[in-house]
Homo-oligomer: A and B are copies of this chain.
């Protein structure tokens, strides 16, 4: 295939491994599918080597670089899905905000939103093809280059999580500046969340048009909201995103599973299982059996081994995986961690995790 054909979002290679998509639909394959959040990440020496000396968001803007980084973990491990290498903060950038990745500090907004008036600094209409076309091109290129080995997941940050970054200006343990907005400026907060939702919907649709075969929405800062604020400032937007994206799928007769991962929102499990998502991602503080009880078969689930369990000796990883599989069962279940991989993790232990999910689940399905 010529270079030109690799950037056209059609004639993709036939998918060979549909275990992930089956599980997202609530079905069972011959093994439980597994992938890891942040599987394209700093724990891989080839990732560190490839990224060395390059600006983080420059990398995000290069389809070739994103493609290479997305494919790296697939060369090592038998993951059942790939997730496009990118960052949730490309959306605030598309809306006109400056975001830098500062070494040792993480993402930083030199000029965060301080007052409701600052919303005027944001683009009211975002041309996603123009501002985020580089992500779409990365997805198309990667979908071709994966050669149908596994499906490719696209993703976005959820409105509240992006809003909290835009106001805090970076990481925070309390997110108290962003939460102050919710309490002092509820109307402006809803306005911002609505603006973000509109961009996110177009962004996700663009990803699917470019070749994404599943979509994950990260509400990484859900846990900092209590049940009341989640109900008001997170859930309606999460649900609206899935509803609107799926409505547009109907028109084109596409079927792209959507996953919601609201980290630490233990209190919202029932509500999320009744939303428009097919899959609910779980952090490691949720007991697998209790998750199945509380979601009552309404959704597939994804997660949730404590990422730090990868620090344990390999034989312990196998035991932890078996216990997790027994808790979740093998149908409508996508194995993953309860959070992303950390940079100091041993790739061999990641391999042991993947291998254990496949080995134990095959046996469990066979013995049924």
Contacts and interface: CB of A to CB of B under 8 A. Distances in A.
Interface of A: 171, 173-174, 176, 179-180, 182-184, 223, 225-229, 264, 266-267, 284-287, 290, 306-309, 311-313, 316, 338-339, 342, 344
Nearest to A320: B228
A264 B267 contact: no
24 contacts: A171-B173, A173-B173, A174-B308, A174-B342, A176-B307, A176-B311, A179-B306, A180-B308, A183-B308, A183-B311, A183-B312, A183-B316, A184-B311, A184-B312, A184-B313, A223-B264, A223-B285, A225-B285, A226-B284, A226-B306, A226-B338, A227-B287, A266-B267, A267-B285
Contacts of A342: 174, 176
A223 B286 CA distance: 11
A32 to B, nearest CB: 20
Given A171-B173, A226-B338, 20 more contacts: A173-B173, A174-B308, A174-B339, A174-B342, A176-B308, A176-B311, A179-B306, A179-B311, A180-B308, A180-B311, A182-B308, A184-B312, A223-B264, A223-B285, A226-B284, A227-B285, A227-B287, A264-B285, A266-B285, A267-B290
Contacts of A306: 179, 226, 228-229
Contacts of A311: 176, 179-180, 183-184
A286 B228 CA distance: 10
A220 to B, nearest CB: 11
